[in-house]
Chains A and B, each alone.
Chain A
Amino acid sequence: MPPDALATRRPWRPRLTPGALGLPLALGVLALALGHLLAGPGLGPGLIALFAPEATLDAASTLVLHYAWWPRLAMALLAGGGLALAGVLMQQVLRNPLAAPTTLGVASGANLALMAASLMAPGLLGLGREWVALAGGGMAMGLVFALAWRRGLAPVVVVLGGLVVNLYFGALSMVLLLFHQEELKGLLIWGAGSLAQNGWQDVAFLAPRLAIGGLLAWLLLRPLAVLALDEAGARSLGVSLKHLRLAGLGLAVFLTGCVVSVVGIVGFIGLAAPNIVRLAGARRLGARLAWSTLLGALLLAATDLVLQRVSGHLPTLIPTGATTAALGAPLLLWLIPRLRLAGETPPREARALGGRHPAPGRLAGGLAIALLGVGAVAMLAGQGADGWQWASPSDWTLLQWRVPRALAAAGCGVMLAIAGTLIQRLTANPMASPEVLGISGGSAIALMGAIFLLPAPDNLTLVAAGTLGALASLAVLVGLNRASGFQPERLLLTGVAITALFEAIKGVVLAGGDPRGQQVIAWLSGSTYYVDPTSALSVAAAALLLALVAAPLGRWLDILPLGGATATALGLPLARARLALLLMVALLTAGATLVVGPLSFVGLLAPHMARLMGFARARAHLAGAALTGALLMVLADGLGRQLLFPEEIPAGLMASLLGGAYFMWGLQASPSRR
């Protein structure tokens, strides 16, 4: 059962308790704080500075203590505690240990609202950026709730809705950032979560709100515990699941929104603290809430104090939020082999979306015709010096810029969609996607390294670096998961850790404000811009080849979502099948990532869209997803080139916006087709 999915694996070890985990951490925080005070004005004056900065002689250092250091420490404790509390609530209601405070799109909503306000209504930010951020977060949450309302806020629908709202708002923010990098550079610091303070205002804003949130959580304790039961059990107790979920999620979102609005996006604490506490043996919801809050506060404070010690010697700011994610990722990687996960039981609602189309062959034929039509229009219609024009099909001087891009877009769409279908069926988790698996993240880390560390990298160097990164991620995935026979939950956790590391590095890189960040953003947004005829042909050929290889895997893919036990009983060589599929996914993802970058999300969306259309059996699902992915990418590439001509919206972002809109529509419109 997901809420108790994590436990110590080796019972003969000295028993780990939350207290035994929290105490050394608390002592560490205390030692670091004391160390800072003693290295500065000393303990007495340091404490006096907390309350009365003017009372001491050495003005500069006590002022900094009073207005920056003490509020920062308070903020770290508050924010860490708040996020961890929100994380427990989220994981409890959604019954998913991968749920985090930002799962419902609060942070991306806040981010988008801040960006939009900066560009269009800067006056609003003068009134108070917290309110703008809270409004944006609330809007995102409202959208998720609206999507999932008719399904009674069922966890799987909420998670999917959150995922798609997250990526939708994320894509919109990315577009704004791409076109207004100079204006929005300050928000990148916010996006990486810096705890630096300029007085006590923010602490005064946050503290009472978190106190109210904590109180409400305590009041909701008993009803929320019911959610650990399965759906039927909870219903039989006479609980209104919908309203209970609304209350639990609403509270979690409120807490997250408050924290995010003042310090920005702090990664990982809300995901890691509840999982660590459960790993340390806290079972009951009350204990998990209390210990997680404490642990989250201490984790963030410890990270921030360590960071302050080292950051004085660097020419750039290392934001705390990104650092927690960067430190948390190895921690999670270390924990994964030590977790006992309930991955071998079939997940109940993984395939709850979409019905079965009576004639999937006809549907696929329709998609193929649409693909050809859209491709032709995308290549022939376009704006030039004198507005819109139709190009003649023989005008190669013009078409040399368009044909390779359309071809590469289609190829990447096919590869990512197949990879997504494979990984979603392999893990039976609707949140799974090639991006989540960390292959794209690993290749993106290597690419950012190449852009920043090499003086003037050419494209060949970048491709080589990207391939190396993808291979390294794959090695980590295989190395950490071989012993468990590639258990799906574990695979996903590994991927989440690698992706978190990527997000962290991206955050640090962008927050630093280096002008080269522009190039990173452009590449990360998933563009076919860099494709030349040779690479387009190789991508298309690779897509075709890998699609042919994937086709005979249909039987495995029909059986695997039934869970490990069933699959073994049906005679499936489980570990071998999983490894083979994983290798396929890695190949497909690496190939597509090198061309369009890591953030296209076609791999997540296309399989779901195919399911919504009614492609149910594995082989039909593969074909439907591949066609959908290609159609989505070709359409996105064509539109992206023309909408804001001469500026181009990268295909990956356009695909996220188009696919996301369709997906949201399908999600809320299909309550009956279960």
Chain B
Amino acid sequence: MPRPRRALTWLAGLTAALVAAATPADAPRLATLDWTLAETLVALGEPPAAVAQVEAYHAWVGEPALPASTIDLGLRSQPNLERLASLAPERILISPMFANLTPRLEHIAPVETLPLYRPERDTWREMRELTRSIGEMVERPEAASGLIEQTEARLDALRQRLDDATAPLLIMQFMNSRHVRVFGDNGLYQAVLDRLGIDNAWTGPTNAWGFSLVGLEALAGLDARLVVVEPYPAGVRERLDDGGLWGHLVEASRGTPIVLPPIWSFGALPSAERFAEQLVNALEPDDAA
């Protein structure tokens, strides 16, 4: 069921599509290997013509959805060069992770490398810069400003709905029944928590992607409400129900654990807004009751 905010995005997208259809010459054909760039492009109303691993994008990023006409380029780490060449895109967007492909891709089209989650940089500011650069690349700077303003306004509104005394949160994703990724500094969730004015209970070290892989015992003794981001790996939920340390962690934590539907943990503004929306909905007492 589309919520008002989503309807707005859709409207924006529809308008963009109509405009694009009216003036096809303006819409550069873009291809991207990176899902974070792809979701931003879709949110800007300029969905890329081709994306790597389209099916997996829908499983792991989900919203905003790619149009059905999107062409699958194959693996993100090894996109199909024959297919990419036959599409003759005007530009290929990648993140630094795929930089070693640049020499090959440059034979096909100019390559733009767009970074996100660099250490020592404010993640939220980086997301805004990324959105702006992409907006300029697709010649729609006003759509980029619109997306930034709309996302920030939405997060401010969500912040108003929160109690002042929201408990610190511990955001995690299960890897198996004994290990979790716990999210902290330099990541998407931290950036959103900062804007919502919520404390993160995980102050430990994190890697370049804003998470730390730990055994469950590392979470003991932290005073926090638990937030689990789905999906659970197969069989894990059953194992956790058996009790053990996890049962005691749940008992010792504040309130009931929150379980959120899958969100792309390494995404940009669209994923950030989705996370904020779902988190605040779950935190509100009426929803819990």
Seen from chain A, the residues whose Cβ lies within 8 Å of a Cβ on chain B are 59-61, 63-64, 67-69, 117-118, 122-129, 178-180, 182-183, 185-187, 189-190, 194, 196-201, 312-317, 382, 384-385, 397-398, 401-402, 451, 455-459, 462, 511-516, 518-519, 521-522, 527, 529-530, 532, 645-648, 650
22 contacts between A and B (CB under 8 A): A64-B217, A117-B234, A127-B235, A194-B179, A194-B215, A198-B178, A199-B243, A200-B244, A315-B206, A316-B213, A385-B86, A458-B100, A459-B103, A513-B175, A515-B266, A518-B76, A645-B74, A646-B74, A647-B75, A647-B80, A648-B78, A650-B78
How many angstroms between the C-alpha atoms of A118 and B113 in the bound complex?
A: 34
Residues of B within 8 A of A123 (CB): 234
A398 CB contact (under 8 Å) in B78, B82, B218, B248? B82
In the complex, are the beta carbons of B221 and A518 less than 8 A apart? no
A530 CB contact (under 8 Å) in B53, B73, B75, B104? B104
How many angstroms between the C-alpha atoms of A457 and B97 in the bound complex?
A: 9
B179 CB contact (under 8 Å) in A178, A317, A398? A317
Residues of A within 8 A of B236 (CB): 186
Binary per-residue interface labels of chain B (94-125) against chain A in the complex, 1 for a CB within 8 Å, 0 otherwise? 00111110111000000001000000000000
Shortest C-beta distance, A630 to chain B (Å), equals 22
How many angstroms between the C-alpha atoms of A118 and B233 in the bound complex?
A: 8
B214 CB contact (under 8 Å) in A61, A117, A317? A317
Residues of A within 8 A of B78 (CB): 522, 527, 529, 648, 650
Residues of B within 8 A of A519 (CB): 77, 97-98, 100
**B85 part of interface (Cβ distance < 8 Å):** yes
**B287 part of interface (Cβ distance < 8 Å):** no
**B10 part of interface (Cβ distance < 8 Å):** no
How many angstroms between the C-alpha atoms of A59 and B240 in the bound complex?
A: 20
In the complex, are the beta carbons of B174 and A186 less than 8 A apart? yes
**B56 part of interface (Cβ distance < 8 Å):** yes
Residues of A within 8 A of B104 (CB): 530, 532
**B11 part of interface (Cβ distance < 8 Å):** no
Binary per-residue interface labels of chain B (51-73) against chain A in the complex, 1 for a CB within 8 Å, 0 otherwise? 00100100110000000000011
A198 CB contact (under 8 Å) in B59, B100, B218, B239? B239
Given contacts A513-B175, A532-B104, 5 further A-B contacts (CB under 8 A): A61-B220, A67-B244, A67-B245, A198-B240, A199-B244
In the complex, are the beta carbons of B233 and A457 less than 8 A apart? no
Interface secondary structure of B, over-half rule: mixed
In the complex, are the beta carbons of B175 and A315 less than 8 A apart? no
**B204 part of interface (Cβ distance < 8 Å):** yes
How many angstroms between the C-alpha atoms of A650 and B212 in the bound complex?
A: 31
Residues of A within 8 A of B102 (CB): 458
In the complex, are the beta carbons of B239 and A315 less than 8 A apart? no
Shortest C-beta distance, A511 to chain B (Å), equals 7
**B242 part of interface (Cβ distance < 8 Å):** yes
In the complex, are the beta carbons of B75 and A522 less than 8 A apart? yes
In the complex, are the beta carbons of B217 and A313 less than 8 A apart? no
How many angstroms between the C-alpha atoms of A128 and B234 in the bound complex?
A: 10
Q: Which of B82, B243, B252 has the most CB of A within 10 A?
A: B82
In the complex, are the beta carbons of A456 and B99 less than 8 A apart? yes
B72 CB contact (under 8 Å) in A178, A187, A198, A646? A646
Shortest C-beta distance, B221 to chain A (Å), equals 4
User: Using a CB-CB cutoff of 8 Å, which residues 201-216 of chain B contact chain A?
Assistant: 204-209, 211-216
Given contacts A63-B248, A129-B235, A194-B178, contact A646 B80 (CB under 8 A): yes
Residues of A within 8 A of B150 (CB): none
Seen from chain B, the residues whose Cβ lies within 8 Å of a Cβ on chain A are 53, 56, 59-60, 72-83, 85-86, 96-100, 102-104, 113, 174-179, 181, 204-209, 211-218, 220-221, 233-240, 242-246, 248, 252, 266
How many angstroms between the C-alpha atoms of A313 and B212 in the bound complex?
A: 11
Shortest C-beta distance, B36 to chain A (Å), equals 10
Shortest C-beta distance, B110 to chain A (Å), equals 16
In the complex, are the beta carbons of A646 and B234 less than 8 A apart? no
Shortest C-beta distance, B200 to chain A (Å), equals 15
How many angstroms between the C-alpha atoms of A186 and B53 in the bound complex?
A: 20
In the complex, are the beta carbons of A512 and B213 less than 8 A apart? yes
Question: Can you name the residue of chain B whose Cβ is closest to the Cβ of A316?
Answer: B213
In the complex, are the beta carbons of A60 and B207 less than 8 A apart? no
Shortest C-beta distance, B55 to chain A (Å), equals 10
Residues of B within 8 A of A197 (CB): 178, 245
Shortest C-beta distance, A643 to chain B (Å), equals 12
Shortest C-beta distance, B62 to chain A (Å), equals 12
In the complex, are the beta carbons of B246 and A315 less than 8 A apart? no
How many angstroms between the C-alpha atoms of A527 and B101 in the bound complex?
A: 13
A315 CB contact (under 8 Å) in B96, B177, B205? B205
Given contacts A182-B60, A458-B99, A516-B97, contact A201 B82 (CB under 8 A): no
How many angstroms between the C-alpha atoms of A123 and B104 in the bound complex?
A: 42
How many angstroms between the C-alpha atoms of A124 and B234 in the bound complex?
A: 8
Shortest C-beta distance, B234 to chain A (Å), equals 3
Residues of A within 8 A of B214 (CB): 317
In the complex, are the beta carbons of A60 and B221 less than 8 A apart? yes
Question: Can you name the residue of chain B whose Cβ is closest to the Cβ of A645?
Answer: B80
Residues of B within 8 A of A185 (CB): 175
Q: Which of A183, A196, A197, A514 has the most CB of B within 10 A?
A: A196
Residues of A within 8 A of B96 (CB): 455-456
How many angstroms between the C-alpha atoms of A459 and B106 in the bound complex?
A: 13
Shortest C-beta distance, B175 to chain A (Å), equals 4
Residues of A within 8 A of B237 (CB): 126
How many angstroms between the C-alpha atoms of A462 and B60 in the bound complex?
A: 30
In the complex, are the beta carbons of B97 and A515 less than 8 A apart? yes
B59 CB contact (under 8 Å) in A67, A117, A182? A182
Interface pairs A-B: 6 shortest CB-CB: A199-B244, A125-B235, A122-B234, A196-B215, A456-B99, A67-B245
Given contacts A118-B234, A315-B205, A646-B74, contact A196 B100 (CB under 8 A): no
Q: Which of A178, A180, A186, A401 has the most CB of B within 10 A?
A: A186
Question: Can you name the residue of chain B whose Cβ is closest to the Cβ of A263?
Answer: B178
Residues of B within 8 A of A516 (CB): 97
In the complex, are the beta carbons of A456 and B179 less than 8 A apart? no
In the complex, are the beta carbons of B81 and A401 less than 8 A apart? yes
How many angstroms between the C-alpha atoms of A129 and B80 in the bound complex?
A: 35
